[in-house]
């Protein structure tokens, strides 16, 4: 069980952790922003593509199921399959391929059933909502980066001002 916990935390930090440079607050904000963006995007895109039952509860069910299954598939792939593969490129892309299989084989049919949409409409809605969510996560990381860079610049300016004030006194 400890292997699964470590692997799931590693996946979350890899997806939301900005290559290991993010702090816990930044990761938490990115996860919250991603969940809200995914809910709103799937709801609006689903309705726009003709899903007749795209209400908030059903969308949350689809997203929760998708997140749980994608995390489980990626973790299982990383734990049980990747250590036995010698090809480095295949080992890097295999967890993403397992998530794609989960999307095509399980999440899209669930979306069809719950949101009352056709398969292609449900697939496009899921893919577009994933894209919107990725964009929101990138914007959140960019906002944190801008605040961090601005804080460093402000500290440099304050040091220069203090130095000039000391010289003038």
d(CA 124, CA 66): 15
pLDDT in tens, 11-65: 888 787 765 566 778 888 888 999 999 999 999 999 999 888 989 999 999 999 9
Query: Residue 58: enclosing H or E segment and its boundaries?
Result: helix 56-76
pLDDT in tens, 96-152: 999 999 999 999 999 999 999 999 999 999 999 999 999 998 888 888 877 776 666
Query: Residue 52: enclosing H or E segment and its boundaries?
Result: none
Alpha carbon 47 to its chain centroid, in Å, reads: 22
d(CA 133, CA 100): 16
Question: For residues 108 and 123, is the Cβ–Cβ distance under 8 A?
Answer: yes
Enter the pTM of the model.
0.80
First-to-final CA distance of the chain: 64
**Got the DSSP string for 15-38?**
HHSTTTT--HHHHHHHHHHHHHHH
């Amino acid at each position: 069980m400890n292997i699964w916990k470590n692997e799931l935390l590693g996946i979350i930090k890899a997806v939301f952790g900005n290559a290991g440079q993010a702090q816990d607050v930044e990761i938490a904000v990115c996860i919250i922003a991603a969940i809200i963006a995914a809910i709103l995007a799937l709801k609006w895109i689903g309705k726009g593509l003709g899903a007749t039952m795209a209400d908030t509860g059903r969308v949350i069910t689809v997203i929760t199921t998708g997140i749980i299954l994608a995390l489980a598939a990626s973790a299982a792939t990383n734990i049980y399959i990747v250590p036995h593969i010698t090809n480095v490129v295949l080992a890097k892309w295999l967890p993403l391929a397992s998530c794609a299989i989960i999307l095509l084989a399980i999440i899209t049919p669930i979306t069809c059933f719950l949101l009352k949409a056709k398969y292609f409409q449900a697939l496009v809605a899921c893919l577009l909502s994933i894209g919107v969510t990725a964009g929101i996560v990138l914007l959140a990381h960019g906002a944190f980066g801008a605040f961090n860079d601005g804080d460093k610049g402000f500290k440099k300016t304050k040091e220069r001002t203090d130095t000039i004030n000391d010289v003038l006194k």
